[in-house]
Amino acid sequence: MSGNSDSRWGVCCSVAFVWFATHFGGGFASGRQLVDFYVKYGWYAVFTPILSVGLIALVLWCAWQFAVRHGVYDYHSWSVRYFEPLGWLEPVFSMLIEAMYLIILLLATGVAFATGGTVLNHIFPDIPYHVGTVGLAVLILSLTIWGSGTVRKASTVMSLLIIAGMLVIYSSNLVANFPRLLQVMRELPEAEGGFWPALWQSVKYAALQCSLVGAYTAVADGLRTARDVNRTTLLGFCVNAGMLTLASVGALLHFPAILSERAPVTYITQHGGGGALGVVLVSALILLAVVSTGVGLIYGSTRRITAWWSARTGRPASRKVDVAASAVYVVASWCVASYGLIPLIAKGYAWVGAMSAPLIVAPILLVAFWRVLRTARTPAVAAEG
């Protein structure tokens, strides 16, 4: 019995780590997203990351519970079934889920390739930028064609390495600059307008991550029960909220100087006691972020294609279909990175977050609330009958 329980906990941990590994992208690793969404609002960055992850956790809990109960894991099948109560609006929201996922797939994975290629070129000047991005593309492709089990295992290993690296960088930074945090906490964030803009920005960050719901449902086939979903959500919340808050507070220590930095994590390392080890860790974290985000997003899209193929042909998709589907998305994302669309992509994150709040997050929560109310009323109706 204990062994079985340990096994279930292991699966829950692995799904939670897919959440973290996908969440930890190039923008998170470089620190630029932290500054744009949290730190520029001053001391609110101490708690607004927790609000963001709390909202993400609520949405993922709804998505996972439904996926496990109905056995739908690719994001198209999931969205079609999930939004059935909306009647004629169901196709609209299903299409929105699809469109937003594809947009963020190209944006985030394109940024990942571009960032990773730049880092590799910086570490190994003899390796051309495009050769580095091709190498990363091959690595991501090789990790996405063997099914959700491989994705979960790879994400678990990468997550543990990322967490260890972040603890080294940001803990040493916190120790070296703690008095500065107290000073920042006493200052009001006048430049950005106070609490409400900070709150809205944290909601946009959560909505941006929720647009990736398809990547998270794709690996939920390892979960079996509502208890598994509860455990996964709690573990994922603790890991993501803890790391996001630690990184945001670490960047906040250098407010307001850090606001103008293109790669804030480099500034943090230079002023946080990391030394040469910190420089190496930063490069390693960014490369891990590239791979971890790419694997989660590409696999979510691959699962969508293989489910469509199975429904069309009446038989399970072959390995060739897996490889072909993954390759299409890898090449498309690589092309985005190759054309140097980083400024456009950076603006795209804010746009996707603002659009996802009303078009993805709100409908998912409203449908979940409606189902809770319907379930609560059912026993009373049955009793009366």
The pLDDT tens digits for 6-32 are 678 888 999 999 899 888 877 788 788
User: Tokens 């730049």 belong to which residue?
Assistant: 118
Query: Does residue 77 sit within a domain?
Result: yes
CA torsion, points 230, 75, 6, 151, in degrees to nearest 10? -140
Query: Does residue 272 sit within a domain?
Result: yes
- For residue 44, give the CATH number of its domain: 1.20.1740.10
Domain of residue 325, residue span: 8-368
Query: Does residue 3 sit within a domain?
Result: no
Query: Does residue 379 sit within a domain?
Result: no
Q: How many CA atoms lie within 13 A of 282 on its CB side?
A: 25
Residue 347 scores a pLDDT above 50: yes
Q: How many CA atoms lie within 13 A of 130 on its CB side?
A: 6
280 is written with which tokens?
């190496």
The residue-averaged pLDDT of 134-156 equals 81
Please state the pTM of the whole predicted model. 0.86
The residue-averaged pLDDT of 329-335 equals 79
272 is written with which tokens?
């946080």
Query: Does residue 376 sit within a domain?
Result: no
- Cα 168 from Cα 270, distance rounded (Å): 13
DSSP 358: I
CA Rg, the chain, in Å? Answer: 21
* Number of domains, the chain: 1
For CA atoms 111, 158, 164, 15, give the dihedral sign: positive
Contacts of 247 (CB under 8 A, 6+ apart): 28, 31, 34, 166, 170
Query: Does residue 377 sit within a domain?
Result: no
pLDDT at position 380, please? 42
DSSP 357: I
Query: Does residue 384 sit within a domain?
Result: no
Contacts of 233 (CB under 8 A, 6+ apart): 16, 57, 60, 61, 64
Percentage of the chain exceeding pLDDT 70: 89
- Cα 283 from Cα 115, distance rounded (Å): 10
Query: Does residue 381 sit within a domain?
Result: no
Cis peptide before 256 (omega within 30 of 0): yes
193 is written with which tokens?
């307008």
pLDDT in tens, 61-112: 999 999 999 999 988 889 999 999 888 888 999 888 888 888 887 877 777 7
